[in-house]
Structure 1
Amino acid sequence: MNEFRVLSPTAILGYGFPEESFRAGLARDPHLIAVDAGSTDPGPYYLGAGVSFTDRAAVKRDLELMIEAGLERDIPVVIGTAGGCGADPHLEWNLEIILELTREKGWQFPLGVIHAELDKELVRQALRQNRISPLYPAPDLTEEEIDAAKHIVGQMGPEAVMSVLGQGAKVVLAGRSYDPAVFSAAAIAAGFDKGLAIHMGKILECGAIAASPGSGSDCLLGTLRTDCFIVEPLNPARRCTPTSVAAHTLYEKTNPYILPGPGGVLDLRETTFTQETETAVKVSGSKFLPGDKYTVKLEGAKCVGYRTVSIAGCRDPIMIGQIDHITEAVRERVQDNFKRYGYKYFLHFNIYGKNGVMGNLEPQPNVTAHELGIIIEAVAETQEIANTICSFARSTMLHYGYPGRVATAGNLAFLYSPSDFKAGAVYNFNVYHLMEVDDPLSLFPSKIIEVGKEKR
């Protein structure tokens, strides 16, 4: 085989893609259809709560098109980080959608399922054996934090996907995955260079975001050769350039030359980006350097409380000019009112129009807006306490008598009634560490399910 073609339909399963772009990709006879289904970008809630951040109907639509095309053309379909976070509840959620489609479409095929959620006792044993180290800026892991985590997942490399494909799976549904793994596994198994395969996977993982104009809801094709790979969009409105592809190579990375992953690093010190055609870019020189030890990144999230928020607007220039003083005075009033109860809570005022995006890092401290958006957030150990703190802060701010106030009907405009929203459980990432393993497959048990052949 002289080249290996991979079709990436979209940045994340459920983000969608134009069917015309997808058909153009299929016309190029890809050897693999692969998609990343998740990310840590939406924050720890989805891992902790065991729910998807993408919509079920949107995920089902994407899966229907991808799996149907794969089965019709005998192209393997690989899905990574199932359900958005890749823990067991996410994997089961995504699996149920596939089984539902199978019943509706009458499909029959071998489905490979790879788990990525780790047993806490296994993690505790690794910690006692000094095989776990923190990723900056995470602190050292403790057994208390392991116990507190709702779910802990390991980020699988390409080896687990290679194993299941080697067992004949036509569709692979994988738990938490190193993003490039699902795009590179089949090519590595076919004998292509691992460094080039993983780098191509790094570009393909976000669909057409690496094109210009970029989009996370459009397709990208990667063609891997013995000494390079080529990436190109499948929508004529887009083109890849050396700048757009190089920029996406650095996406979410702190080092421009060394990109760590399971089992080693991607070395880009000799990588070149060349305009191959008007819309395609050729990449060469990327190398995979194995590490002395094989490490897997762990991710875990724990519940830290419950949240209530209230959203309001302010257009009084006198109040806007005193907003820092007012928020601090409200904070002190809340504390004084409930000090006898010893409530443990976090009260925050996010001020959009002042520093709502950058907070204390905002380089322009002076307010120039004619109106402000104010989000009052309370987090406490119970939902009831969070409700109480948010409600009292909201009512205090609504009627706070600041110097120069003219109107007394109220300082804030509320967009909604009720004004307070009970947001439920709040989670923080509390496991963000590396675990040393002897076998890349040891953390990721898999099985083959002959779907469509169940007893009826």
Structure 2
Amino acid sequence: MDSRLACHIVTPVGCMGYGFDENLVAQELTRLAPSKIPTAIILDAGSTDSGPEKLALGTTTCPRSAYVKDLSKLLRLVHNFRVPLIFSSAEGDGADEHVRLMEEIIEEISAKETNQHYSFKTISLFSVIDKSVILERLNAGRISGCGACVPELTAKDVTESLLVLAQIGPEPFIVAMEATPDFNVIIGGRAYDPAPYVAFSMYQLKLQHPDIGPEQLESCHGGLLHMGKIMGCGGLCSTPKSHGAIATVYIDRTFDGKPIAPGPGGALHLDQAHYKQLEDERTVRVHGGRFVSSASHGQPYQLKLEAARVLGYRSITMGSMRDHILVQQLDNFLVSVKAYVKQQHPGIPGDWDLGFHVYGKGQSTPTGPGEVFIVAEAVAPTEQLATALVVSITVQVKLVGVANKHDSTGPTRVRKQLRATLRSA
């Protein structure tokens, strides 16, 4: 192991807006300050893990007040400890609009009378790509799916999306740091979660050790990606879980990670990674992550594109079923419910769909299958139609029986009301 240090990275929480303990972060920065090792506060500010809603509707992961609260703490730490702040996927989806909103919040906080001594050099990175560029690449056959199960992209998908953005890698962050080395804050648009972690580490490696060649830098990429993958979720990697975490990065592929509290361009391979718990029983040393670039296989550098469009309105109905005879035939029954609803609403304009989420299936009781809970949802072009569809589901489930329904006493009549309660919402 090469024991030369490159940098320290402090992640207060896995996602900006969720809140964190400023005092704990300040204690760690105070502890790190005497080392004179470059230190940065880096964290994620959003994700599309929760689904496409933010992209389709232009909403944010947290309310504006939550970002104001966290940024107020973060900027105070930046000012007091003279460390840079870097975050990505601004306000959830990383759209250009949300990058600008983060700029606005930083300006608002800095303009307060109590913060007149604040002066931050802020860089913004934008990820939205003009739809005309996407359509041009699509027509030229230069866009491919992220996997075999991903449907082929169509021009309609592009034109009907609110916007299209790219999940950028570390390169734009590195370019920004090299162009403005005295930066205080970098606001990133949509980015691969480890990107800012890799970027700051790589930037410091190149800055402090100019003797490191391109091959050695590339060999470090895997370890840095591995570090960023873990640190991107804050202290969730620890046992017990913590809000925040700290990474100490060495100039080889090694990094130390510990809790605070008592992608693009290739693939990350962890098959040769090693983990060693250090003597303090809080820090884990990690080595062996490898980054295999697309270029090494003769393939072009590609970015993942993200977009979403509004499909319609959703209405749900939910409830439980205790009739063990019905539960035994539940799959067939739900098929019949869907057929009934379709029959009741002939000639519906546009696309619509019904779905059922069944919880508790497979449980057993002395008398047969146990109780199940069902969430039925309808998606339709209008709110009125979506509501009408779930009303039809509710009626069918509550009042209609099952074919061939029988118990130990023999067949029961189809008109028998089922013991189910479903309410639309």
1:267 Cα deviation from its structure 2 partner: 4.1
407 and 93 in structure 1: CA distance in 2 versus 1, 3 angstrom threshold: farther
Deviations 1:332-391 (A, max 9, x none): 32222222556742112222222xxxxxxxxx4878664332212111122222121112
What SS does structure 1 have at the residue aligned with 2:355? strand
Q: Distance in 2 between matches of 1:160 and 1:398?
A: 57
Change (3 A) 1:199 1:315: same
Give me the whole-angstrom Cα distance separating, in 2, the residues matched to 1:276 and 1:147.
53
Q: Which residue pairs with 1:262 in the alignment?
A: 264
Structure 1: which amino acid aligns with 2:152? D
CA distance in 1 between partners of 2:305 and 2:205 (Å): 29
- 2:120 and 2:132 map into 1 onto residues whose CA distance is 35
Q: Matched residues in 2 for 1:156 and 1:306: separation?
A: 31
1:200 paired to 2:227: yes
Distance in 2, matches of 1:40 and 1:405, equals 49
Structure 1 range deviating more: 101-110 or 372-381: 101-110
**Which residue does 2:213 correspond to in 1?**
none
What CA distance in whole angstroms lies between the structure 2 residues aligned with 1:96 and 1:412?
51
Q: Are the aligned partners of 2:6 and 2:201 in contact in 1 as well (CA < 8 Å)?
A: no
Call closer, same or farther: CA 1:139–1:407 in 2, change over 3 Å: closer
Aligned in 2, Cα 1:161/1:340: closer, same or farther, shift over 3 Å?
Answer: closer
Q: Distance in 2 between matches of 1:377 and 1:157?
A: 37
The alpha-carbon distance between structure 1 residues 57 and 291, as it changes in their structure 2 partners (threshold 3 A), is same
Cα distance in 2 between the residues matched to 1:93 and 1:407 = 59
Of 185-194 and 399-408, deviating more is 399-408
Q: Write the distance in 2 (CA, Å) between the matches of 1:141 and 1:406.
A: 47
- Report if the CA contact (8 A) 1:34-1:78 is conserved: yes
The aligned counterpart of 1:128 is 139
Structure of greater relative contact order (alpha carbons < 8 Å, 6+ residues apart) = 1
- Match of residue 115 from structure 1: 126
Q: What displacement does 1:407 show?
A: 11
> Paired residue for 1:147?
159
The alpha-carbon deviation at position 409 of structure 1 amounts to 8.1
2:193 is the alignment partner of 1:176? no
Is 2:94 the partner of 1:86? Answer: yes
* d(CA) in 2 for partners of 1:373, 1:145: 35
Decide whether the 8 Å contact of 1:75 with 1:170 is kept in 2. yes
Q: Displacement, 1:8? A: 0.8
Higher deviation after alignment, 72-81 or 291-300: 291-300
TM, length-normalised to structure 1: 0.76
Q: Report the 3-state secondary structure (helix = DSSP H, G, I; strand = E; otherwise coil) of the residue aligned with 1:7.
A: strand
CA contact (8 A) 1:51 1:90 kept: no
Q: Is the 8 A contact 1:399 1:411 kept in 2?
A: no
Secondary structure of 1:392's partner?
helix
Residue matched to 1:234: 260
Distance of aligned partners of 1:343 and 1:69 in 2 relative to their CA distance in 1, 3 Å threshold: closer
Q: Which runs of 5+ in 1 are unaligned?
A: 237-260, 355-363, 422-456
What RMSD in Å do the two structures reach over aligned CA positions?
A: 2.8
- Unaligned runs of at least 5 residues, structure 2: 207-216, 406-411
Question: Displacement of 1:316 after TM fit?
Answer: 4.4
2:235 & 2:85 partners in 1: Cα distance? 18
Find the residue that maps to 1:191 and give its secondary structure: helix
Q: Which amino acid aligns with 1:113?
A: S
**Preserved CA contact (<8 Å) 1:21 1:219:** no
Distance 2:186 2:371 in 1: 51
Tell me the distance in 1 between the aligned counterparts of 2:60 and 2:7: 32
The 8 Å contact of residues 156 and 177 in structure 1, kept in 2 or not, is answered as yes
Determine the C-alpha separation between the residues in 2 that align with 1:174 and 1:78.
8
Aligned match of 1:427: none
Counting aligned pairs with the same residue, the percent is: 30
Deviations 1:382-406 (A, max 9, x none): 2222121112222332222455489
Q: CA deviation at 1:221?
A: 0.4
Match of 1:385 in 2: 385
Residue 62 (structure 1) aligns with = 70
SS state at 2:346 partner: helix
**Separation in structure 2 between the aligned mates of residue 123 and residue 341 of structure 1, nearest angstrom:** 33
| Aligned residue number for residue 225 of structure 1 | 250
Tell me the secondary structure at the aligned position of residue 129 of structure 2: coil
Deviations 1:92-118 (A, max 9, x none): 343343333233344331211111011
Matches within 5 A, 1:14-413: 14-27=17-30, 28-29=32-33, 31-104=39-112, 105-106=115-116, 107-136=118-147, 137-166=149-178, 167=180, 168-191=182-205, 193=217, 194-195=220-221, 196-215=223-242, 218-227=243-252, 228-236=254-262, 261-277=263-279, 278-292=281-295, 293-317=300-324, 319-341=326-348, 344-354=351-361, 364=362, 370-402=370-402, 404=412, 411-413=419-421
How many residue pairs align between the two structures? 382
Larger radius of gyration: 2
CA distance in 2, matches of 1:172, 1:369: 56
Task: Provide, for residues 13-60 of structure 1, a one-character-per-residue CA deviation record: whole Å limited to 9, x for no partner.
Answer: 123333443233222236100001122210111211111123433333
Task: Say which is worse superposed, 150-159 or 264-273, in terms of deviation.
Answer: 264-273
Deviation at 1:63, TM superposition (A): 1.9
CA–CA separation in structure 2 for the residues paired with 1:274 and 1:369: 47
C-alpha separation in 2, matches of 1:181 and 1:332: 48
Summarize deviations over 1:65-84 as a string: whole Å, max 9, x none.
11210122111101111111
Aligned to 1:447: none
Which stretch has the larger CA shift, 180-189 or 332-341?
A: 332-341
1:206 CA drift (Å): 0.7
Moved more, 378-387 or 192-201: 192-201
Secondary structure of 2:205's aligned partner: coil
Q: 1:353 to 1:113 in 2, by over 3 A?
A: same
Equivalents in 1 of 2:54, 2:266: separation in Å?
A: 28
Give the 3 Å change call, closer, same or farther, for CA 409–366 of structure 1 in structure 2.
closer
Structure 2 length normalisation: TM-score? 0.81
Deviation at 1:162, TM superposition (A): 2.0
- Partner of 2:234, secondary structure, is coil
Structure 1 residues 369 and 150, CA gap change in structure 2 (3 angstroms): farther
